[in-house]
């Protein structure tokens, strides 16, 4: 496994670049490997040229830089080629600089020979380097680095065919988006995965239930993900439910319903609504009956969770696999699993390797740090999370700093894992980073990183750099959807630090999260000025009434969460330092007037009873986030004129919302507008489309909205537009002006803009395209588009009534031959302009062509030069009289004649003077080309 860093994510042109010595392997191994990769749908780049030079051309350099993965095929005579060595040098540069993946294959040479350049292999290298003396050290370094990477040795495989299949699977595993992300350094993972998958292969005729058991931080989830990645492509029906225990503990029993819905959605590929846990269990057993499925339940804490999500494995079809990870082996015994994979501590060798990857970014310690590394590894006791955290903490530190850390470690008992992890916390350089860490430990695990950053920045903690430092120190993880994550042991370590800071009096702690402590403090009014953050989560059906008097002394309170609690009294008692208030299930009709909090950064009152947010909006200069989602009684949004810096407005699932206040146009910093499932909302204020700052606009489920204004073209920074399940029938033309748009889901079109836009344009050009020889009828005066297909029509073009073509603006003509296309185009133009262009040749009187009115015409064509020839010849032959409008086209009419060519949205040219003929206009013929690169 190699270490790589990525400074940016380049656009990939190819999936795989293959580097090899042509004389050794071109006609054999490489040819077969290329075929195997291509047959698997993998886009490869193979240099088919026989090279004698040494300089790599620009095309080849682009191919190497633009490949996601490079496969290096080392053979006996590899180092005889300076070309191969220069390619290798460039591949390793891209690996180090851009994080591109490299897979070495040792064809008929031992990896150690390549690593150390021994024997004939090394002699050939030195001989080649004599002609390029400065290159020897560079090439040697590249060979060593490549040989140190995890790869394939042909001599250790039963057959080349089997090896190629393994390489294809390896490549697919690295590029397939369905694969789960696992640890960057999977030391010791392979043997465990092999044992489990070997057992599974012998259970193909039955439902196989696997248990993975171990303490927190021992690698259960990583092992489950690796097993999933190894086998999931064999299953059409599959689901991986991560962090079951954490998800269930966050809220109440109802959260299990969400997991049941996710499981059903993953397996059935459709959204399913569940109203009770029992109903969900029944539906899972009924709908999964007989299905061959792969289901992983990660970190299960109770038997109830197992029963709710996978009640009876016997209902699954033969060949199904259920994997459960847990800290409690009793659950696995009750569930009667077929195989238990126990997560043992890592041995000394694995521990040292894993630690070295984090501390030195290589598989073994640096020379002068070997003994020190062994001391740290012994202290960690084979616990992966401790090895990772301490390794990251010691990365790039001096020898003296290492000794200081080890001396401190020796004073802490080996069995106190939390204390081991605390060393990384103590190593944080400033109190702000520590405060950020403790805030995340107590309040923000699972929250969106961007939102937390805004809130903590509002507290003066410089969270942009602070969170980055915590991620670098392995104290915080950034998980799916940009959520903040943290290992349980690290979380517990942080919370223990908070507890220790205030002896035995919870009321004097800086942060309060333990429900019993918080309830006791609020009911007895024992909170003090030291309290900075407080969380109280009440069961939805429980009624807990608290007094605002409880907060009188908490004058430094900046973070407050009161889910489903009722707070009565004078709201002026709440601290003026509040930056974040999370009040799920807020029970009043509106936020009280005395709740005047000018420092608030985020207000989250989802699932509330509010009918309006405020009776009279207060000036909230600092408010960045307002979330009133799932407020079923809310009828209108607030006046936004006093929320000048709002960046996120989330109003999901408010079924009675019928009006968005026109002052939304004042929100010049708004980035996100989410109105999903507001089913009573029939239109948006016109000013919404003037919000240039908005990056994400979500209108899905707003079933009464039937139109997007052309003004949407003014939303110049819009990157995501999602408007499914609305009444919108037409996509506005101005959407093509949105230069930043990246993803669209609208009117049946869904995907990246580069994929959607061509389909949109084609639909506008030819909405009635079909297999008929021509489109009919042509009634009405509003016709602007027509599609003609005469490929199967021996009768030729049948002209429609000329009067009905007066509004025509675009046409698509498709013919089976050049002769047919020429004739059909001439006939069409004759009918379109109510005069035969061929008659231009003999026109002797101005009246014969006085009715010509050449309107703008967009012609979709496959043989552009034929159209240009026909149009040019017809028009130029008709321009012989002085009374006719002047026409000018070059003599030769193939694309090479074009006088003005460019890339981009515009072209500049000079219109020639024509004093004799008094030119009244011009005809502009545009030939454009679109490729995957452009």
CA R_g for the chain? 35
Cα–Cα distance for residue pair 406/398, rounded to 1 Å: 13
Q: What is each CA distance from 646 to 576, 602, 661, 677, in whole angstroms? A: 19, 9, 14, 22
Ramachandran region of residue 481, left (φ > 0), alpha (ψ -120 to 50) or beta?
left
Q: Which residue has the tokens 């996978």?
A: 310
Interacting residues of 516 by C-beta distance below 8 A, sequence separation 6+ = none
Cα–Cα distance for residue pair 222/180, rounded to 1 Å: 10
Q: Which of 325, 134, 129 is nearest to 224 (CA)?
A: 325
Contact in structure between 674 and 651 (CB atoms under 8 Å): yes
Q: Which helix (H) or strand (E) holds 650?
A: strand 648-650
Q: Is 87 noted as a catalytic residue in this protein?
A: yes
Alpha carbon dihedral 106, 110, 115, 121, in 10-degree steps, equals -100
Q: Which residue has the tokens 């006609």?
A: 27
Cα–Cα distance for residue pair 411/401, rounded to 1 Å: 16
Contact in structure between 339 and 325 (CB atoms under 8 Å): no
Alpha carbon dihedral 187, 190, 196, 199, in 10-degree steps, equals -160
Q: What is each CA distance from 732 to 664, 683, 712, 765, 766, in whole angstroms? A: 22, 15, 8, 14, 16
Q: How many CB atoms are closer than 10 A to CB 542?
A: 9
Q: Reduced to 3 states, what is the DSSP secondary structure of residue 18?
A: strand
Cα–Cα distance for residue pair 893/875, rounded to 1 Å: 13
Computed from CA positions of residues 676, 680, 685, 686, in that sequence, does the dihedral angle turn out positive or negative?
positive
Contact in structure between 876 and 887 (CB atoms under 8 Å): yes
Phi, psi of 293 (to 5 degrees): -130, 155
Contact in structure between 17 and 67 (CB atoms under 8 Å): yes
Print the SS3 string covering 786-833: EEEECCCCCCCCCCCCHHHHCCCCEEEEECCCHHHHHHHHHHHHHHHC
Q: Using a CB cutoff of 8 Å and minimum separation of 24, what contacts does 896-901 make?
A: 898/927
Pairing, β 602-604 against β 580-582: parallel
Q: Which helix (H) or strand (E) holds 876?
A: helix 864-877
Catalytic residue (choose from 80, 87, 350, 454):
87
Q: How many CB atoms are closer than 10 A to CB 811?
A: 22
Cα–Cα distance for residue pair 192/46, rounded to 1 Å: 36
Cα–Cα distance for residue pair 252/245, rounded to 1 Å: 11
Contact in structure between 60 and 113 (CB atoms under 8 Å): no
Cα–Cα distance for residue pair 181/262, rounded to 1 Å: 19
Q: Which residue has the tokens 């939805």?
A: 540
Residues 443, 445, 450: CA angle, nearest 5 degrees: 95
DSSP string, 231-257: HGGG-SEEEEE--HHHHHHHS-THHHH
How far is CA 227 from its chain centroid? Answer: 23
Q: What is each CA distance from 453 to 438, 458, 519, 827, in whole angstroms? A: 14, 8, 28, 66
Q: Is the peptide bond before 777 cis (omega within 30 degrees of 0)?
A: yes
Q: Which residues are catalytic?
A: 87
């Amino acid at each position: 496994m190699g270490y790589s860093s990525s400074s940016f994510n380049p656009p990939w042109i190819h999936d795989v670049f293959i580097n090899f010595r042509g004389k050794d392997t071109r006609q054999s191994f490489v040819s077969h490997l290329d075929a195997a990769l291509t047959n698997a749908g993998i886009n490869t780049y193979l240099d088919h040229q026989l090279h004698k030079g040494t300089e790599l051309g620009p095309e080849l350099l682009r191919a190497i830089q633009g490949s996601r993965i490079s496969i290096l095929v080392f053979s006996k005579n590899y180092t005889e080629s300076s070309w191969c060595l220069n390619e290798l040098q460039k591949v390793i540069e891209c690996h180090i600089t851009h994080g591109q993946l490299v897979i070495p294959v040792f064809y008929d040479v031992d990896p150690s020979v390549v690593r150390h350049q021994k024997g004939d292999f090394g002699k050939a290298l030195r001989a080649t380097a004599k002609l390029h003396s400065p290159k020897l050290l560079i090439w040697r370094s590249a060979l060593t680095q490549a040989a140190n990477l995890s790869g394939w040795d042909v001599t250790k495989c039963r057959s080349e065919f089997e090896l190629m299949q393994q390489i294809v699977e390896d490549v697919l595993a690295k590029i397939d988006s369905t694969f789960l992300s696992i640890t960057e350094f999977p030391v010791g993972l392979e043997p465990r995965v092999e044992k489990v998958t070997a057992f599974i292969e012998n259970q193909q005729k039955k439902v196989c239930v696997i248990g993975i058991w171990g303490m927190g931080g021992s690698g259960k989830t990583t092992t489950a993900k690796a097993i999933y990645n190894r086998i999931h492509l064999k299953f059409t029906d599959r689901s991986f439910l991560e962090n079951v225990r954490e998800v269930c503990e966050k809220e109440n029993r109802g959260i299990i319903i969400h997991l049941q819905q996710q499981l059903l959605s993953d397996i059935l590929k459709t959204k399913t609504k569940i109203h009770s846990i029992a109903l969900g269990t029944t539906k899972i057993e009924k709908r999964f009956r007989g299905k061959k499925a792969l289901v992983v339940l990660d970190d299960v804490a109770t038997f109830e969770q197992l029963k709710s999500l996978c009640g009876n494995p016997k209902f699954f079809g033969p060949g199904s696999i259920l994997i459960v990870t847990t800290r409690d082996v009793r659950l696995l015994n009750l569930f009667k699993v077929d195989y238990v994979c126990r997560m043992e501590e890592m041995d000394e060798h694995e521990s040292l390797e894993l630690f070295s990857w984090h501390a030195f970014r290589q598989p073994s310690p640096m020379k002068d740090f070997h003994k020190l590394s062994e001391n740290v590894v012994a202290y960690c006791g084979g616990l992966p999370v401790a090895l990772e955290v301490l390794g990251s903490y010691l990365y790039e530190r001096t020898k003296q700093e290492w000794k200081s850390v080890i001396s401190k470690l020796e004073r802490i008992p080996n069995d106190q894992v939390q204390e081991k992890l605390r060393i990384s916390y103590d190593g944080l350089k400033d109190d702000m980073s520590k405060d950020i860490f403790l805030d995340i430990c107590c309040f923000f695990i699972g929250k969106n990183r961007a939102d937390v950053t805004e809130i903590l920045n509002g507290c003066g903690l410089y969270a942009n750099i602070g969170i980055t430092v915590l991620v670098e120190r392995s104290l915080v993880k950034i998980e799916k959807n940009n959520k903040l994550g943290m290992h349980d042991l690290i979380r517990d370590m942080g919370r223990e630090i908070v507890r220790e800071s205030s002896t035995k009096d919870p009321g004097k702690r800086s942060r309060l999260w333990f429900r019993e402590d918080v309830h006791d403090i609020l009911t007895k009014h024992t909170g003090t000025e030291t309290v900075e953050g407080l969380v109280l989560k009440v069961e939805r059906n429980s009624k807990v009434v608290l007094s605002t008097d409880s907060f009188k002394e908490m004058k430094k309170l900046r973070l407050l969460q009161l889910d489903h609690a009722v707070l009565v009294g004078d709201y002026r008692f709440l601290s003026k330092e509040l930056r974040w208030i999370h009040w799920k299930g807020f029970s009043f009709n509106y936020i009280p007037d005395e709740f005047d909090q000018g420092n608030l950064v985020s207000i989250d009152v989802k699932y509330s009873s509010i009918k309006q947010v405020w009776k009279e909006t207060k000036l909230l200069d600092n408010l960045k986030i307002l979330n009133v989602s799932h407020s079923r009684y809310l009828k209108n949004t607030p006046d936004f004129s006093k929320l000048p810096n709002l960046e996120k407005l989330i109003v999901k699932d408010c079924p009675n919302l019928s009006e968005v206040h026109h002052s939304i146009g004042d929100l010049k910093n708004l980035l996100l507008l989410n109105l999903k499932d507001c089913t009573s909302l029939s239109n948006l204020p016109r000013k919404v489309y003037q919000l240039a700052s908005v990056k994400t606009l979500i209108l899905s489920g707003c079933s009464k909205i039937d139109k997007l204004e052309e003004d949407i073209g003014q939303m110049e920074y819009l990157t995501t537009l999602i408007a499914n399940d609305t009444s919108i029938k037409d996509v506005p033309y101005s959407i093509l002006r949105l230069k930043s748009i990246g993803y669209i889901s609208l009117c049946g079109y869904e995907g990246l803009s580069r994929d959607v836009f061509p389909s949109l344009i084609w639909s506008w050009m030819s909405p009635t395209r079909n297999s008929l020889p021509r489109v009919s009828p042509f009634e009405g005066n509003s016709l602007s588009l027509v599609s003609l297909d005469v490929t199967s029509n021996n009768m030729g073009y049948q002209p429609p009534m000329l009067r009905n073509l007066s509004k025509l603006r675009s046409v698509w003509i498709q013919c089976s031959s050049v002769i047919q296309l020429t004739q059909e185009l001439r006939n069409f133009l004759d009918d379109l302009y109510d005069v035969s262009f061929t008659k231009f040749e003999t026109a002797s009187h101005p009246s014969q062509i006085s009715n010509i009115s050449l309107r703008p015409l967009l012609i979709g064509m496959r043989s552009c030069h034929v159209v240009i020839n026909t149009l040019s010849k017809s028009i130029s032959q008709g321009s012989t009289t002085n009374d006719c409008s002047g026409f000018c086209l070059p003599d030769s009419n193939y694309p090479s004649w074009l006088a003005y060519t460019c890339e981009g949205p515009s072209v500049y040219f000079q219109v020639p003077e024509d004093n004799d003929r008094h030119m009244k206009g011009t005809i502009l013929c545009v030939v454009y080309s679109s490729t995957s690169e452009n």
